[in-house]
Amino acid sequence: TLTATGDVPTVSFGSPGRATLAPAELALSLSSLTGAGEPTTPPGLDVVCEPAPGQEPELAAITVRGDGDPTAPAPQPSPSDPAPDPAPTRPAEGLSPGAREKIEALTDERLEALEGEDPGSCPIEIPPEWVMTTAETYAAGYANAAKLDGAAALGPAFMKVVLNKRYINDSCASTVDVSSEVNFDYRGRRQLPPTKATFLSYGFMPTTATMTLEQVGPPAAIHTHTVTNTPTYPEETTVTAQLVMRLSDVEVNGVPLDVGPDCRTERPFEQVLRGYGQSYPPAGYLVAYGGTLTGYAHIPPFEGCGVGEDLDPIFTSAISSPGKKADNYTKMTQAPLCVATNPEGPDCPPRVPDPER
């Protein structure tokens, strides 16, 4: 049994639709050694094989979206086109101050009122699995580098979302908790697009580098907590992702600095973003409609930086968070979801949002 892993060439398609990937032939070049580790005679074997007649060669089938350039403007309708359906109401720009405190106070107030009541008098409702659905969207924003006193652009990041992995309606506490998940997708990799940024290291040295945030571990968790004992239905959404930061193409004062192929944080770090909104009327951040999410992250020390010399201490001292402090502020703006159950909806295909500083 031969097992191989690694990157494969990028494949481009000229039109939208269903694309099938199938092999035409397989060519292997095998090198063989004796038990003593010496080359055999002959030293290797070349093998070429093709699918057997009648064998189904399909490796994978994917759906190619028609919006090749997500930043391109939407096509304008001609005068003869029928009038489109009106778009659903979008959330207002913001919420009144204290939205988070209001949500927490309403939840605590309701829980305190329930003390001593029979827990079986209002059972928790968990709908069946069929409520799950998939969706796509983009997010873009900025991440501060606290030590460098600057910010790097993030995205636009394409995201694949699975909605309603778990749905709990607690009528006793007057709350609804929904768990979903999301994976970043950049050219088939679980990462955000690489971004290039320039900072003044230590306050005086111009430094340019390409930063790549790779998603590791399980899908990022989306948790929405809604309070239903008030007419506006205020809600808090938390998005938690595990990321590794990689650095490449580094230049210091215009001179290339070879950091090698594996300059990265020594361990993953947790990025937590929160958004606050309400359903009636729609305002602030809502998962379906998008909006702004903010949060802080702790950047660990770096490892694997440098070729022939250890550059880890330089990047650690210039970028990494001190102690256990989460001091790097991030602000991301999410576009409305393009939901699989409504592919002809006004938010499909998904659009790239304008990032907010």
Summarised one tens digit per residue, pLDDT across range 80-95 is: 444 443 334 456 555 6
Structure tokens at 143: 């991440």
The region, left, alpha or beta by phi > 0 then psi within -120 to 50, assigned to residue 24 is alpha
Summarised one tens digit per residue, pLDDT across range 11-40 is: 666 667 777 777 777 888 888 888 888 888
Helices within 48-94 (DSSP H only): none
Please state the rounded mean pLDDT for residues 111-135: 60
The pTM is what? 0.69
72 part of a folded domain: no
Please state the rounded mean pLDDT for residues 219-229: 93
d(Cα 47, Cα 132) in Å, to the nearest integer? 46
Asked whether residue 230 falls in the same domain as residue 156, the answer is yes
Asked whether residue 28 falls in the same domain as residue 108, the answer is no
Query: pLDDT-derived band of residue 216, with 50, 70 and 90 as boundaries?
Result: very high
Question: Could you tell me the residue range of the domain that residue 302 belongs to?
Answer: 99-114+121-339
Please state the rounded mean pLDDT for residues 204-226: 93
Asked whether residue 239 falls in the same domain as residue 304, the answer is yes
For the beta carbon of residue 298, count every other beta carbon within 10 angstroms.
Answer: 16
344 part of a folded domain: no
For the beta carbon of residue 95, count every other beta carbon within 10 angstroms.
Answer: 20
Asked whether residue 107 falls in the same domain as residue 172, the answer is yes
Q: Looking at the 3D structure of the chain, how many domains does it have?
A: 2
Asked whether residue 108 falls in the same domain as residue 40, the answer is no
280 part of a folded domain: yes
Average pLDDT over the chain reads 82
User: 150-170 and 133-145: which strand pairing?
Assistant: antiparallel
84 part of a folded domain: no
Asked whether residue 52 falls in the same domain as residue 195, the answer is no
d(Cα 291, Cα 159) in Å, to the nearest integer? 15
d(Cα 238, Cα 272) in Å, to the nearest integer? 7
69 part of a folded domain: no
26 part of a folded domain: yes
Asked whether residue 139 falls in the same domain as residue 55, the answer is no
pLDDT at 357: 80
Asked whether residue 128 falls in the same domain as residue 239, the answer is yes
pLDDT at 75: 39
Per-residue pLDDT for 104 more than 70?
A: no
269 part of a folded domain: yes
Asked whether residue 180 falls in the same domain as residue 325, the answer is yes
Asked whether residue 134 falls in the same domain as residue 205, the answer is yes
Per-residue pLDDT for 7 more than 80?
A: no
The candidate with the shortest Cα–Cα distance to 190, out of 151, 158, 154, is: 158
Asked whether residue 186 falls in the same domain as residue 232, the answer is yes
Q: Using the 8-state DSSP alphabet, how is residue 109 labeled?
A: H
User: 124-125 and 302-303: which strand pairing?
Assistant: unpaired
127 part of a folded domain: yes
Structure tokens at 16: 């939208």
Q: Using the 8-state DSSP alphabet, how is residue 187 labeled?
A: T
Asked whether residue 55 falls in the same domain as residue 138, the answer is no
